[in-house]
């Protein structure tokens, strides 16, 4: 606006905060600065910013700064922090089953160990992801807004993402068809969660592992032949159980936001 810019000396006194500047000059400088960007630029370096910076600089060396590179919670949005070792164990068991099959260890006549272990493996992973006994931070987790069916399903997907490819590879190596292990495996997974909404995930895992030992493993060993339950003809039954489990899950989805489910 005004063509008359304040002198260097006046501007310096103003920026230093001198209180002996005549009122009319002070007013003039202030209103001029409001409308004149080049003169505001002449004020720099801003003494206030300078003072703050001198106080802050020594502190910065002592205070550790946030590291940006490692954002672990992004991974643990899917994989429960407690499940890591269990997922590794699941892969090891699968590999061991394949190895035993390969060296010709058979239970009775041509019973594949891969088919035998398929239903039990994901149950362990699910229990590790949502059980009180295996996840130490279960109570903190249960009280957060994310606790609930969506988080449970994410973690289950993570377990299946390890179990299913592992079993698929094992199936290819040992020549076992998809149908024979995939449906029991999925039915047991959903069954653990569905039963878990009623009696708690850890207890559900124990019950289902016991059922697996009694109904599938014991007859196989006792009669030296594949249990009827793992026959391809039993596929519709497994599919039915899978659907029933999903229905229970949908109906009782709010249970996962409570502490009782961790039992």
Partner 1 sequence: MTAPTTYAWEIEARDLRVRAGRRMAVDGVTLTMGRGVHGLLGPNGAGKTTLIRALATVLKPATGELSLLGGMDFRELRRRIGYLPQEFGHHRRFTVREFVAYVAWLKEMRDIPAAVQRAVERVGLADRADDRMKTLSGGMIRRVGIAQAIVNDPEILLLDEPTAGLDPAQRLRFRELLAEIGTDTCVVVSTHLVEDVAAACTDVVLLSQGKLVFQGTPEQLAAKGTAGHAGDSPIERGYSALLGLPHRPGTW
Please, which residue, 79 or 113, has the CB nearer to partner 1?
A: 79
* Site size with partner 1, rule: CB under 8 A: 32
Sole residue written with tokens 């895992």: 205
Please, which residue, 22 or 145, has the CB nearer to partner 1?
A: 145
Q: Please report whether residue 69 would count as binding partner 1 according to CB under 8 A.
A: no
Please, which residue, 85 or 108, has the CB nearer to partner 1?
A: 85
Q: Please report whether residue 35 would count as binding partner 1 according to CB under 8 A.
A: no
Q: Please report whether residue 251 would count as binding partner 1 according to CB under 8 A.
A: no
Alpha-helical segments (H) within 63-177 = 72-76, 84-102, 113-117, 120-130, 138-142, 149-174
Q: Which region holds residue 17: left if phi is over 0, alpha if psi is between -120 and 50, else beta?
A: left
Return the closest-CA partner of residue 198 out of 154, 242, 248.
248
DSSP sequence for 148-215: THHHHHHHHHHHHHHHHHHHHHHHHHHT--HHHHHHHHHHHHHHHHHHHHHH-HHHHHHHHHHHHIII
Binding span for partner 1 by CB under 8 A among 10-18, 71-79, 215-223, 236-244: 71-79
Site for partner 1 in 132-151 (CB under 8 A): 135-147, 151
Please, which residue, 37 or 59, has the CB nearer to partner 1?
A: 59
Q: Please report whether residue 81 would count as binding partner 1 according to CB under 8 A.
A: yes
Q: Which residues bind partner 1 (CB under 8 A)?
A: 63-64, 66-68, 70-74, 76-77, 81-82, 135-147, 151, 257-260
């Amino acid at each position: 606006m005004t063509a008359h810019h304040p002198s260097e000396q006046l501007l310096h006194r103003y920026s230093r905060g001198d209180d002996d500047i005549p009122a009319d000059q002070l007013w003039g400088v202030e209103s001029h600065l409001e409308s004149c960007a080049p003169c505001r630029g002449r004020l720099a370096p801003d003494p206030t910013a300078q003072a703050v910076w001198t106080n802050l600089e020594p502190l910065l060396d002592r205070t550790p700064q946030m590291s940006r590179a490692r954002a672990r919670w992004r991974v643990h949005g899917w994989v429960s922090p407690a499940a890591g070792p269990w997922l590794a164990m699941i892969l090891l068991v699968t590999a061991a089953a394949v190895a035993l099959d390969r060296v010709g260890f058979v239970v009775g006549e041509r019973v594949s160990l891969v088919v035998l272990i398929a239903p039990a493996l994901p149950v362990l992973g699910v229990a590790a992801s949502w059980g009180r006994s295996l996840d130490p931070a279960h109570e903190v987790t249960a009280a957060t807004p994310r606790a609930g069916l969506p988080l449970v399903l994410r973690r289950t997907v993570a377990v299946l993402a390890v179990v299913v490819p592992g079993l698929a590879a094992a199936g290819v190596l040992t020549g076992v068809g998809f149908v024979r292990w995939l449906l029991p495996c999925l039915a047991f997974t959903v069954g653990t969660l569905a039963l878990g909404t009623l009696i708690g995930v850890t207890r559900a895992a124990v019950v289902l592992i016991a059922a697996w030992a009694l109904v599938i493993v014991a007859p196989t060993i006792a009669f030296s032949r594949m249990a009827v339950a793992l026959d391809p003809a039993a596929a519709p039954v497994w599919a039915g159980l899978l659907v029933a489990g999903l229905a229970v899950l949908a109906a009782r989805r709010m249970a996962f936001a409570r502490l009782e489910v961790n039992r």
